[in-house]
Amino acid sequence: MKYLTIENILLAVFILLFTVFSLTAPGFLSESNLRAMAFQLPEFGLIALGMMVVILTSGIDLSLTYTSALAGIVIALGLTAGLPILAAILLGLGAAILCGCVNAFFVSNIGVSPILVTIGTMILYEGVSMQITKGGAISGFPEQFYVFGNATIGVIPLPIIIFAIFAIVTYVLLNNTPWGRSVYMIGSNPKATFFSGINTRRVLYYVYLYAALLAAIAGLIMASRYNSAKVDYGSSYLLLSIAAVVLGGTKIQGGYGKVMGTVLGVMIFQILTSALNLYGVSPHIVNIFIGGILIFVLTLNFILNNVGRKNVPKVIKRDTEIEA
C-alpha cells in the first residue's frame, strides 16, 4: 500500500490517458502536436507552481496570470525602446516583484483575505496592462529574444528545461529550507506557527514574491514564443492552474502538497486539452469539462477531510479507554 500515493496514481492516470489519446485522437503523436504541447506546458506549469506555493499557505493568488502578462508587456516595452535584452528582462522581473509586494503587503501586513486582495490586484494589473497597450499587442523584438520561447537543446525545448529547473528549485526550497517548512506550517496552523517564533509575515512575503517571480518567467517565455506581448496572453491558465494544483493533491486549505503532484496535474491537463481540441470539441465544452473536474476533486477532498476529522475523536477515545 505504500506505493499507492497520489503521485503514483496520477502518473498511472497520465500514462493511461496518453496511451488512449495516442490510439484514438487523430494526430496526437504527430510532431507538430507534441511540439505544441512541449512549448505550452512550461508557461502553464510555472504559473501552477507559483499557485501551489501560495495555496500551501491556505491562500490563493488570482492575479498571477495578469502579473505574468504585465511582466511580458514591460519586457516588450523595454525591448522596443532599445534596451539590451538582459536589462529589459530585469525590468519585467522587477515589475512582477512589485506586483508580488503589493499582494504580500495587504495579505501579511494588513491581514486582508488573499482572495479579496488578489481579485482587486487582478483587476488593477489588467487595467494597468490595458492602459499601456490600449488592448493591442506589442511586437518587434530583437531576434535573439526568440530563443527563450522557441529554441531547443538537442530535441528538448528550452522552455521545458527552464520549467524543470524551477520545479527542482521549488522542490528544494519547500523541502530543504526553513522557509519551505514554515510555508507548510502556516498552511496547517498559522497561529501555532506564529507563537512558535516564526516570522509568518516575512514567510508570506517571500511566498507571494516567489509566485510573482515564477509568473514573470512564464510571461518572458510567452512574450518570446508569441513574438509579442498582450494583456490576455496566459489568462486561460488562471483556473487551469488552480485545477492542476488541486488535482495534484495539494490541499486547498493549505498545509499539504507536493511539487511532483502539481507537475503531474499540469501534464494531465495539458494532454487532456490537447486531445479534446484534436477531437474537435468546442473550447467552451473543454472549459465545462475542466470545471467539472475541479468541482469533483474539491468535493472529494472535502469529503475525505471530513471523514478524517470524524475519525480522530474515535481514535483518541479508544486510546483513552485502553490507558484506563
Q: Write b or e for each residue in 105-117: b if 16 or more Cβ atoms lie within 10 A of its Cβ, otherwise e.
A: bbbbeeeeebeeb
Query: Which residue, chain included where needed, has cell 487523430?
Result: 26
Secondary structure class of 324 (helix, strand, coil): coil
State in Å, rounded, how far the first CA of the chain is from the last one.
33
| pLDDT value at residue 199 | 92
- Counting DSSP H helices and E strands in the chain, the numbers are 13, 4
What local confidence, expressed as pLDDT, does residue 317 receive? 45
Residue 115 pLDDT > 60: yes
Q: What angle do CA 162, 165, 171 make, to 5 degrees?
A: 140
Residue 108 DSSP symbol: I
By CB atoms closer than 10 A (0-12, 13-18, 19+), residue 65 is buried
Whether residue 49 is predicted with pLDDT greater than 80 in this model: the reply is yes
Place of cell 491556505: 58
What average pLDDT does the segment 254-278 reach?
91
**Which regions of the chain does DSSP assign to beta strands (E)?**
138-139, 152-153, 156-157, 228-229
pTM (two decimals): 0.89
Structure confidence at residue 277 (pLDDT): 87
Each residue's pLDDT tens digit, 2-14: 667 788 888 998 9
Which amino acid, 29? L
Nearest CA to 115 out of 105, 103, 101, 124 is that of 103
- Helix 158-176 with 178-188: angle, nearest 10 deg: 70
Is 322 a residue whose pLDDT tops 50? no
Q: Please report the pLDDT score of residue 47 as a whole number.
A: 96
Whether the per-residue pLDDT at 117 is higher than 60: the answer is yes
Q: Percentage of residues in the chain with pLDDT exceeding 70?
A: 92
Highest mean pLDDT among 105-114, 165-174, 240-249: 165-174
C-beta neighbour count of 20 within 10 angstroms:
13
pLDDT tens-digit series, residues 56-105: 999 999 999 999 999 999 999 999 999 999 999 999 999 999 999 999 99
219 pLDDT above the threshold of 50: yes
Residues 130-180 pLDDT 10s: 999 988 899 889 989 999 988 998 889 999 999 999 999 999 999 999 999
Q: How many CB atoms lie within 10 A of CB 244?
A: 31
